[in-house]
Amino acid sequence: MMSLTETSLWDAVKKQYVFKLQSYANFFVSLVIVQLVALLFSAGGMAGTSGIGWNNILVEVKLYSGTGIFIFTVLCTLANSVILTLPFYRNIDFSFVGSRLSGNMANIGFLVTAGLFGGITATLGSILLRNIHYYTGGGGEILKSFFMITPGELVTGMAVAVLYLILFSTAGYFAGVVVQLHRSLLVLLPALIVGLIFYEAANEQIRIFSRLIEFFVFERSPFHFSLKIILIASLLWIGAILLSNRKEVR
Amino acid sequence: MNVIECRGLSKRFGRTVALHDLSFSIKENTITGLVGPNGAGKTTLLKIAAGFLRKTAGEIKVFSSPPFNNLKVSANTFFVDDNMALPATLNLSETLDAARRFYPNWDHQLALRLFDYFSLNPRQLHKNLSKGMKSTFNMIVGLSARCALTIFDEPTVGMDAAVRKDFYRALLQDYLQHPRTIIFSSHLLKEIEDILEEVLLLREGQKRLHLPADQLREYAVGLRGEEDTVKRFTAGKEIYRREQFGKNSIFAAVRNSFTKTELQEACAAGLEVLPVSAEDLCIYLTSRSRGGIDDVFNRN
Amino acid sequence: MKPIYLQLSEWLETEILSGNITAGEKIYSQYQLAEMFNINPATAAKGLNILADEKILYKKRGLGMFVSPEAGEIILRKRREQVRARLRELVKEAELLDISESELITMITAARKRNKEERA
């Protein structure tokens, strides 16, 4: 007689997580490539504007470039989180051992890992960009006082980037799970979001998105900021788990 | 002990009834063939048993638990079909290694030997395999996982006759060495009936027969000869199939509840007594008309 | 079509009759038979059980099945009965075709002669 194997939830999650890291290793490679491309674009921007009045424009380019890498990282992570919810990728979870809960938890683990990786590389990328500025652009007097950052600032910068990436990927994952509930939501959900944005832009009184952005961006306390993101992300994760827990697969 | 137990199991997709009031049980360490025409509900039943689909009504238990979204059932069940989703980034050898980590009973030696025997290329990507090669690979993973319940849903799609034969042999050999519960859905009953212990025949989402496989060949008998004589001998019996033969002759397949003397009398009355193969029986029992395809052409 | 387990039990009988397996010897297990004939072991067990019911084989608890001392005798008796039954059918057929008794006997003698020649 074949004895039954006992598998704990945690065990299944770990195995699925490792499987995902191995299967989707190319995500990390493509993310770095995207970041390098963003870096190149940003560096190119600097070269183009270097001919005219140095001081003003340099400040602008710097601001733009650091954000450029981050925006590309966000887009890449967001796309990745939505892809994970597509039926084919969801079904991979059920080729081997797993439940809906364990698959979702492994996905969360993977997205957090991707957020950590993306946040750290994006921050390092923007520092690299500053260095490129400094050494190729000749780095004027004014630059220097803002140039050096303390290790504390570096870590805070990374942490903020990581937390934002986790927030975005979680939102993307949640949206993906919602869309998978019914075909029509693929059209309805984006339409709803875009519609609300336009509606808000047209009406002074409606302030849904701006409030949402203020909720995170205007938070000055790092502790509260982290707490807010973890809280919202957890709610979205729980929502995604509950929504997909009854879903039929394969 | 029963590995699967169903009572009044039903499944609807919207308004379509896929399974209707299905009751049966599958004993531990048996090989069961699940047969029936397309759309009979075979795949739906197997996917419910594997925990992928939800039942609509009734009861199903696998390893004594409801299978839907059940980690214990998933850990002890392997489901092989022709659209197994595997990461497009892993080659075959990496996929084997990944599968291995999920199953404590995994036999890697067996996997590698089968891999070699069927000359699969370890560097190839799963998505680039031909249909037959994909089926072969999936079958290797399914056998090597050594799960207490192994489900093969039409596992031979695209395989050529020689590979199919090897597969049936490999399945039997591995089963003899490591007995476990295997369910095998297939259209090719003739090819697999010898290695089956039981046959479960579905028709339009309902159970039509559930019998030891070796009784299937004796289940029905065909009588051929003069129409009136055949009618006399088959009176009161359910006729599974009736075909016109020449001017006054017919062939009728009925339940084989005749005694030996009755059959001898039939012979003496000039009737031919013909065996009905398991495959033919299943076709007769699941076809919509008693005359088969000929009914389309004979309109009188 | 003859069920596989009957084909199997007849094959085993022939093995015993021809002396390939002798009285008191252990017979193949259901698993060995399943592997040899590429059939389900439950079917193989059915073949063995038929022979056990007919006292051609006997079970030793935990050890398997063995050929009983009187196996040869039982099989011979059974096979003779089968020949007799087939002969009855043959005779019936002959009657239907108006073949006389002496003609039938001549035919049997001729068939035996031909078999002997073929074997030589």
Q: Reply yes or no on whether the pLDDT at A58 is more than 60.
A: no
Give me the pLDDT at residue B253, please: 94
pLDDT digit string (tens) for B60-115? Answer: 999 999 999 999 999 999 999 998 999 999 999 999 999 999 999 999 999 999 99
Give me the pLDDT at residue C114, please: 94
The whole-angstrom separation of Cα B20 and Cα B41 is 9
Q: B55 or A221, which is more confident?
A: B55
The chain C residue lying nearest B277, using CA atoms, is C1
Give me the pLDDT at residue B247, please: 83
The whole-angstrom separation of Cα B10 and Cα B18 is 7
Smallest Cβ–Cβ distance between B196 and the set C1, C40, C92 belongs to C40
* CB–CB contact A95 B85 (8 Å): yes
* CB–CB contact B94 A92 (8 Å): no
Lowest-confidence region among A23-27, A63-67, B119-123, C28-32: A63-67
Q: Reply yes or no on whether the pLDDT at A57 is more than 70.
A: no
The whole-angstrom separation of Cα B127 and Cα A71 is 33
Q: Does residue B61 belong to any structural domain of this protein?
A: yes
Using pLDDT thresholds of 50, 70 and 90, give the confidence band for residue C37. very high
Domain stop point among B204, B234, B253: B204
Let me know whether B278 and B145 are in one domain.
Answer: no
> B18 to chain A: which residues are within 8 Å by CB?
none
Q: So where are chain C's domains?
A: 4-71, 72-119
Q: Does residue A165 belong to any structural domain of this protein?
A: yes
Q: B272, exposed or middle or buried, with CB in 10 Å at 0-12, 13-18, 19+? A: middle
- Beta bridge partners, C58, equal C66
* CB–CB contact B176 C41 (8 Å): yes
> B146 to chain A: which residues are within 8 Å by CB?
2
Q: Does residue B212 belong to any structural domain of this protein?
A: no
Q: Does residue B69 belong to any structural domain of this protein?
A: yes
Amino acid at B217: R
Across A66-86, average pLDDT: 91
Q: Does residue B211 belong to any structural domain of this protein?
A: no
Q: Does residue A70 belong to any structural domain of this protein?
A: yes
CA distance C49 to chain B (A): 14
Let me know whether B174 and B225 are in one domain.
Answer: no
* CB–CB contact C39 B195 (8 Å): yes
Residue with tokens 């399914």: B142
Give me the pLDDT at residue A50, please: 43
Give me the pLDDT at residue B267, please: 86
Lowest-confidence region among A203-212, B19-28, B116-125, B212-221: A203-212
For residues A220-250, one letter each, b for 16 or more C-beta atoms within 10 angstroms of the residue's C-beta and e for the rest, the string is eeeeebeebbeebbeebbeebbebbeeeebb
B74 touches chain A (CB under 8 A): yes
Cα angle, residue A155 at apex, residues A151 and A158 outer, rounded to 5°: 140
Residue with tokens 């006389």: C100
The whole-angstrom separation of Cα A99 and Cα A96 is 10
Give me the pLDDT at residue A215, please: 86
Across B238-251, average pLDDT: 89
Q: Reply yes or no on whether the pLDDT at A244 is more than 70.
A: yes
Please state, for a pLDDT cut of 90, what percent of chain A lies above it.
51
Counting one residue from chain A and one from chain B, the pairs whose CB atoms sit within 8 A come to: 97
SS (H, E, C) B242-283: EEEECCCEEEEEEECCCCHHHHHHHHHCCCEEEECCHHHHHH
* CB–CB contact A19 B178 (8 Å): no
pLDDT digit string (tens) for C78-118? Answer: 999 999 999 988 898 888 889 999 999 999 999 999 999 99
Q: Reply yes or no on whether the pLDDT at B183 is more than 80.
A: yes
Across B154-168, average pLDDT: 95
Output the CA torsion C84→C85→C87→C91 (10° steps).
130
Which of the other chains make 3 or more beta carbon contacts under 8 angstroms with chain A? Answer: B
C93 touches chain B (CB under 8 A): no
> A22 to chain B: which residues are within 8 Å by CB?
90, 94, 98
Picking from B194, B196, B199 by the largest number of C CB atoms within 10 A of its own CB, the best residue to mutate is B194
Give me the pLDDT at residue A48, please: 40
> A5 to chain B: which residues are within 8 Å by CB?
75-76, 103-105, 148
Give me the pLDDT at residue A146, please: 60
Q: Reply yes or no on whether the pLDDT at A61 is more than 50.
A: no
The gap between the terminal CA atoms of chain C, to the nearest Å, is 33
> B196 to chain C: which residues are within 8 Å by CB?
40
The whole-angstrom separation of Cα B188 and Cα B152 is 13
Lowest-confidence region among A9-13, A61-65, B184-188, B258-262: A61-65
Q: Does residue B190 belong to any structural domain of this protein?
A: yes
Let me know whether B79 and B55 are in one domain.
Answer: yes
CA distances from A119 to A32, A84, A116, A219 (A): 11, 19, 5, 19
Q: Does residue A189 belong to any structural domain of this protein?
A: no
Q: Which is nearest to A68 in space by CA: A126, A152, A153, A12?
A: A126
B233 touches chain C (CB under 8 A): no
The chain B residue lying nearest A14, using CA atoms, is B102
Give me the pLDDT at residue B238, please: 87
Let me know whether B226 and B261 are in one domain.
Answer: yes
Picking from A10, A85, A99, A241 by the largest number of B CB atoms within 10 A of its own CB, the best residue to mutate is A99
* CB–CB contact B195 C92 (8 Å): no
CA distance C50 to chain B (A): 14
The chain C residue lying nearest B194, using CA atoms, is C39
Alpha-carbon dihedral sign for residues C23, C24, C28, C30: positive
Q: Does residue A29 belong to any structural domain of this protein?
A: yes
Smallest Cβ–Cβ distance between B89 and the set A23, A102, A245 belongs to A23
Q: A69, exposed or middle or buried, with CB in 10 Å at 0-12, 13-18, 19+? A: buried
* CB–CB contact C3 B30 (8 Å): no
The complex scores an ipTM of 0.89
- Beta bridge partners, C60, equal C64
The chain B residue lying nearest A100, using CA atoms, is B69
Across B212-221, average pLDDT: 92
A9 touches chain B (CB under 8 A): yes
Residue with tokens 């030891």: B212
B contact residues 140-179, partner A, Cβ 8 Å cutoff? 146-148, 178-179
* Mean pLDDT value across chain B: 93
C94 touches chain B (CB under 8 A): no
Q: Give the domain extent around B46.
A: 2-204
Q: Does residue B250 belong to any structural domain of this protein?
A: yes
Q: Reply yes or no on whether the pLDDT at B154 is more than 50.
A: yes
* Mean pLDDT value across chain A: 84
Give me the pLDDT at residue A140, please: 52
Helix, strand, coil proportions of chain A in percent (round to 5)? 80, 0, 20
Across A89-113, average pLDDT: 96
Let me know whether B194 and B230 are in one domain.
Answer: no
Lowest-confidence region among A149-158, A241-250, B205-214, C47-56: A149-158
A contact residues 84-103, partner B, Cβ 8 Å cutoff? 88-89, 91-92, 94-102
Q: Does residue B209 belong to any structural domain of this protein?
A: no
What the block records as the tokens of B276 is 């009905």
Give me the pLDDT at residue C78, please: 93
Smallest Cβ–Cβ distance between A99 and the set B71, B79, B99 belongs to B71
Domain total of chain A: 1
- Which residues, 6+ apart, have CB-to-CB distance to A128 below 8 Å? A39
Q: Give the domain extent around A163.
A: 9-181+219-244
CATH number of domain containing B140: 3.40.50.300
The whole-angstrom separation of Cα A223 and Cα C26 is 80
* CB–CB contact B148 A18 (8 Å): no
Using pLDDT thresholds of 50, 70 and 90, give the confidence band for residue B294. confident
The whole-angstrom separation of Cα B111 and Cα A160 is 47
Let me know whether B186 and B247 are in one domain.
Answer: no
CA distance B223 to chain A (A): 44
Give me the pLDDT at residue A63, please: 44
CATH number of domain containing B248: 3.30.70
Give me the pLDDT at residue C67, please: 96
Lowest-confidence region among B126-135, C5-14, C62-71, C88-97: C88-97
Give me the pLDDT at residue A95, please: 95
CA distance C43 to chain B (A): 7
Using pLDDT thresholds of 50, 70 and 90, give the confidence band for residue A51. very low
* CB–CB contact C4 B214 (8 Å): yes
> B4 to chain A: which residues are within 8 Å by CB?
none
Smallest Cβ–Cβ distance between C1 and the set B168, B195, B217 belongs to B217
The whole-angstrom separation of Cα B2 and Cα B258 is 33
Whether CATH 1.20.1730.10 fits C4-71: no
Cα angle, residue B279 at apex, residues B277 and B281 outer, rounded to 5°: 70
B219 touches chain C (CB under 8 A): no
B196 touches chain C (CB under 8 A): yes
Domain total of chain B: 2
The chain C residue lying nearest B221, using CA atoms, is C1
pLDDT digit string (tens) for B23-52? Answer: 999 999 999 999 999 999 999 999 999 999
The whole-angstrom separation of Cα A109 and Cα A103 is 10
Q: Does residue B85 belong to any structural domain of this protein?
A: yes
